[in-house]
């Protein structure tokens, strides 16, 4: 780099630039918080949905699945599972029917032995998730 461009100038670009874009990021965050109520389906968050989210977390579902495209890529996307599996009944039926010892040679979801109330909560959580406005993602029902 040329001699005319000094270390002090480089330092000022670092501090000034970082601060400016940090503030811009915070401003965009503030604006996002204001826009979220129209998109994030928060009116649908009931105690049941919150319970479902907790179950989703403490069973580490994200360790195999994606949810809105984030997570592991070992098992199908679940942000639209409510639509793909045919509603709550489809979701509950699938989770319940997983064999305890897996399927020889193939990937299989573990059997979690959920109670009926827990199954209902998970299905409610996935229903709530499927109604978040995701700018039309995923591209099709296959996720």
Partner 1 sequence: MQYQSQAVAKLYFTAAIGLFAGQILFGLILGLQYVVGDFLFPAIPFNVARMVHTNLLIVWILFGFMGAAYYLVPEEAERELHSPGLAVLMFWVFLVAGALTILGYLLVPYSGLAQMTGNDLLPTMGREFLEQPTITKIGIVIVALAFLYNIGMTILSGRKTVVNLVLLIGLTGLAVLFLFAFYNPDNLVKDKFYWWWVVHLWVEGVWELILGSILAFVLIKTTGVDREVIEKWLYVIIAMTLITGIIGTGHHYYWIGTPEYWQWWGSVFSALEPIPFFMMTVFAFNMVNRRRRNHPNKAAVLWALGTAVMAFLGAGVWGFLHTLAPVNYYTHGSQITAAHGHMAFYGAYAMIVLTIISYAMPMMRGRKAANSNRSQVLEMWSFWLMTVSMVFITLFLTGAGILQVYLQRYSDNPLPFMVVQEKIALFYWLREVTGLVFLIGLVLYIASFFVGSKDPEVAVEQAASPTA
Q: Is 102 in the site for partner 1 (CB under 8 A)?
A: yes
Binding-site member from 24, 86, 89, 93 for partner 1 (CB under 8 A): 24
What spatial distance separates the first Cα and last Cα of the chain, rounded to whole Å?
48
What SS3 state is found at 30?
A: helix
Question: What six digits make up the tokens of 85?
Answer: 């599996």
In the complex, minimum distance from the CB of residue 96 to partner 1, in angstroms, rounded to a whole number: 16
Q: Is 27 in the site for partner 1 (CB under 8 A)?
A: no
In the complex, minimum distance from the CB of residue 75 to partner 1, in angstroms, rounded to a whole number: 7
In the complex, minimum distance from the CB of residue 112 to partner 1, in angstroms, rounded to a whole number: 8
| Continuous segment of H or E residues that includes residue 67 | strand 66-67
Q: Which residues contact 106 (CB under 8 A, 6 or more apart)?
A: none
Instruction: Please give the residues from 42 up to 101 whose contact with partner 1 meets the rule CB under 8 A.
Output: 42, 45, 49-50, 53-54, 56-64, 66-77, 100-101
In the complex, minimum distance from the CB of residue 3 to partner 1, in angstroms, rounded to a whole number: 10
Binding-site member from 31, 86, 93, 96 for partner 1 (CB under 8 A): 31
What SS3 state is found at 66?
A: strand
Residue whose pair of structure tokens reads 């040679």 in the numeric block: 105
Q: Is 22 in the site for partner 1 (CB under 8 A)?
A: yes
Q: Is 21 in the site for partner 1 (CB under 8 A)?
A: yes
Q: Which residues contact 109 (CB under 8 A, 6 or more apart)?
A: 64, 75, 95, 98
């Amino acid at each position: 780099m040329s001699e005319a461009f000094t270390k002090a100038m480089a330092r000022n670009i670092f501090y000034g630039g970082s601060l400016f874009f940090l503030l811009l990021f915070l401003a965009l965050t503030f604006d996002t918080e204001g826009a979220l109520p129209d998109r994030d389906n928060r009116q649908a968050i009931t105690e049941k949905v919150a319970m479902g989210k907790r179950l989703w977390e403490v069973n580490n579902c994200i360790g195999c699945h994606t949810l809105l495209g984030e997570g592991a890529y070992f098992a199908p996307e679940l942000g639209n599972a409510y639509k793909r599996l045919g509603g709550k009944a489809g979701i509950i039926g699938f989770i319940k029917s997983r064999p305890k010892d897996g399927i020889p040679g193939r990937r299989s979801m573990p059997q979690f032995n959920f109670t009926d109330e827990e199954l209902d909560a998970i299905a409610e959580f996935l229903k709530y998730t499927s109604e978040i406005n995701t700018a039309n993602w995923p591209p099709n029902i296959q996720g």
